[in-house]
Amino acid sequence: MSLAKARDLMRLAEMAAARHQGVSLAEIAQAFSADHRTAQRMARALEDTFPGVEIRTDENRRRRWKLRDPGLARFQGIRDDELAALEMSIRRAEREGASPDVAALSALRDRLLACMPGPHARRAEADAEALLEAQGFAARPGPAVRALPGVLESIAEALKGPFLLAITYAGADGGEAERRVAPHGVLLGMRRYLVARDEDRDPRLRHFRVDRIRSARLLGSSFTREPGFDIATHAARAFGSFQDEAQYGEVVWRFTPAAAPTARDFVFHPRQRLEDEPDGALVVRFEASGWLEMAWHLYQWGDQVEVLAPEGLRALVAGHRRKDFEALP
């Protein structure tokens, strides 16, 4: 067996041990960019190498391989590229002010290194530093709004409970008010929004700008989340972070043939539908609200995009479609 194949087998053993239901052939093929026959050979190699492999059939009648006794898979420690990715995630979280993530990722890194023999840990750290230096440091350019220290930590703890949260919230007029909220999730973007129910004022889920939360503290009582709430489904109702039920509906944009190749590389919305037109133009359709954030984005495309629907958004961008931009987004 070649060194590359041995590494792939060990990685497959890690996957089979870590995933609750084990791995299927489709997941093996996807993880290793392999075809179905190769995935079958890898599954057989896993069975032959690790006697503790269990084979079961899931509810979708797919075979799954689960490693109950990971054995050798535990001896690999952490690889330099994995440690480098972890370090980059820590630095990104620091830069974005996500202090709970910084603390959690740093603790994970330290725990992983502590489990490795001293020489191996030092070598992994040195290799990771070299890899970071060679790759450069990944950054997310552009403006971002800061949150006050301690606010994100309190929100994270409240979401874990879930616990009610007492916040001091500043309105658009600068006035501050005490709110007792039931947090359901956080929307990330240039601004962060806390998705929460105001327990004393409004039973509907609302968005609170995190940068306007002046203080936040946990309350001793828990609450029941909205039945069936899913943060990804909730987020998909808006183009960005702002939601307006009155604006929710079908959105249709037409990109010119010149802009179509660039637009095709964008995911404007997780549920978008793309349609190619005979002249090479690209039509993008999705359902969402938030016309102002859409207008901010569309401005970057100059006159290379046309709003076909809704009429309100079409009117909002009319007169702002420039033709002198040197590049597309």
- pLDDT of 134 > 50? The answer is no
* Fold classification of 151-230 (topology level): SH3 type barrels. (2.30.30)
Question: Spelled out in words, what is the top-level CATH class assigned to the domain 3-76?
Answer: mainly alpha
Q: Where are the domains of the chain?
A: 3-76, 80-135, 151-230, 245-317
- pLDDT of 226 > 50? The answer is yes
pTM of the model: 0.59
- pLDDT of 20 > 50? The answer is yes
What residues form DSSP beta bridges with 110?
none
Residues 75-107: tens digit of each pLDDT: 555 666 677 777 778 877 776 777 788 888 888
- pLDDT of 326 > 50? The answer is yes
Question: Spelled out in words, what is the top-level CATH class assigned to the domain 245-317?
Answer: alpha beta
Give the mean model confidence (pLDDT) for residues 257-286: 95
Give the lowest-confidence range in 24-38, 42-56, 138-152, 218-232: 138-152
Highest mean pLDDT among 32-41, 87-96, 279-288: 279-288
Give the mean model confidence (pLDDT) for residues 177-203: 89
- pLDDT of 147 > 60? The answer is yes
Residues near 207 by beta carbon (within 8 Å), at least 6 away in sequence: 187, 193, 194, 195, 241, 242, 243
Give me the pLDDT at residue 115, please.
Answer: 66
Domains 3-76 and 245-317 belong to one CATH topology: no
Distance CA 208, CA 205 (A): 10
Distance CA 88, CA 94 (A): 10
Residue spans of alpha helices (H) in the chain: 3-18, 25-31, 36-49, 80-95, 99-114, 118-135, 151-160, 231-235, 260-264, 291-299, 311-317
Give just the sign of the alpha carbon dihedral 143, 148, 152, 158. Answer: negative
Percent of the chain with pLDDT over 70: 85
Q: Render the burial of 296-327: b for 16+ CB within 10 Å, e for the rest.
A: ebbeebbebbbbbebeebeebbeeeeeeeeee
Nearest Cα to Cα of residue 268 among 244, 248, 252, 249: 252
Residue 2, judged by CB atoms within 10 A of its CB (0-12, 13-18, 19+), counts as: exposed
Tokens standing for residue 11: 């990685």
Give the mean model confidence (pLDDT) for residues 236-264: 93
